[in-house]
């Protein structure tokens, strides 16, 4: 990547920018007072396929131990597209794992060994950060609340159906018979009957 400071339209600036264009440097945009360019991806022709090094560069940039790069490139070429995607995605998780466990670089595999052993298939014990854990629990609570609302709606619809068929009276009498004298004489009598009716309907029809 090249970051070129913008200058007045002098001849030197124009010549330099034209040279970048001819050398396949792509203009990415402007950052404050700078123009940003990146090199168009380079393709390496092998016997069986064309390999782009940009993906490997991304992998190697993420890998914390920079050693034996050429050997790592050879291992990278052997991977199919799915494996390359998995390698980069899981390397991010491995980086989190190494960081949490404070793994020293000398104990981290060479990138070539990591690729050849397909370490993205390993199970990692990574604690969930507090914020992510909270969001996960919140999501579960919301899903449970939605399910409760759906169940409640089903029971309400069933109550209407039973009232129309005259069957509700029988269930209500059954519910009352299951309550104690203290419950029937309490201020929560109607609420307790309703709860018991819903329990009977749930166990009978759902």
Closest Cα partner for 2 from 69, 19, 88? 19
Q: Which residues pair with 25 in a beta bridge?
A: 39
Q: And the tokens for 183? A: 């419950």
Handedness of CA 113, 119, 125, 130 (dihedral sign): positive
Do residues 135 and 108 lie in contact, with contact meaning Cβ atoms separated by under 8 Å?
no
> DSSP label at 187?
T
Least confidently predicted of 23-32, 75-84, 98-107: 23-32
**What pLDDT, on the 0 to 100 scale, is given for residue 176?**
92
Confidence (pLDDT) at 127? 65
Please report, for residues 94, 95, 158, 163, 201, the alpha-carbon distance to residue 206 in angstroms, rounded to integers and kept in the order given: 46, 48, 10, 17, 7
- Measured between alpha carbons, how far is 119 from 109 in angstroms, rounded to an integer? 10
The model's pLDDT over 144-190, given as tens digits with 9 standing for 90+, comes to 878 888 888 899 999 999 999 889 999 999 999 999 998 889 888 99
Average pLDDT on 19-46 reads 54
- Element (DSSP H or E) covering residue 147: helix 130-165
Per-residue pLDDT tens for 115-141?
Answer: 999 998 888 776 656 556 656 776 777
């Amino acid at each position: 990547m090249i970051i070129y400071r913008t200058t007045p339209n002098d001849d030197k600036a124009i010549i330099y920018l034209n040279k970048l264009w001819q050398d396949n440097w792509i203009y990415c945009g402007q950052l404050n007072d700078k123009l940003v360019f990146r090199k168009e991806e380079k393709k390496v022709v092998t016997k069986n396929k064309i390999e782009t090094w940009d993906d490997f560069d991304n992998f190697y940039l993420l890998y914390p131990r920079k050693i034996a790069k050429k050997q790592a490139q050879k291992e990278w070429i052997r991977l199919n597209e799915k494996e390359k995607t998995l390698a980069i995605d899981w390397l991010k998780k491995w980086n989190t794992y190494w960081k949490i466990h404070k793994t020293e670089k000398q104990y981290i595999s060479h990138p070539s060994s990591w690729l050849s052993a397909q370490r993205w298939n390993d199970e990692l014990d990574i604690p969930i950060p507090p914020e992510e854990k909270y969001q996960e629990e919140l999501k579960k609570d919301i899903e449970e609340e939605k399910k409760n609302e759906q169940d409640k709606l089903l029971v309400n619809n069933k109550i209407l159906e039973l009232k129309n068929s005259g069957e509700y009276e029988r269930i209500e009498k059954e519910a009352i018979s299951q309550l104690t004298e203290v419950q029937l004489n309490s201020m929560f009598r109607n609420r307790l009957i309703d709860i018991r009716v819903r329990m009977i309907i749930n166990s009978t029809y759902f």
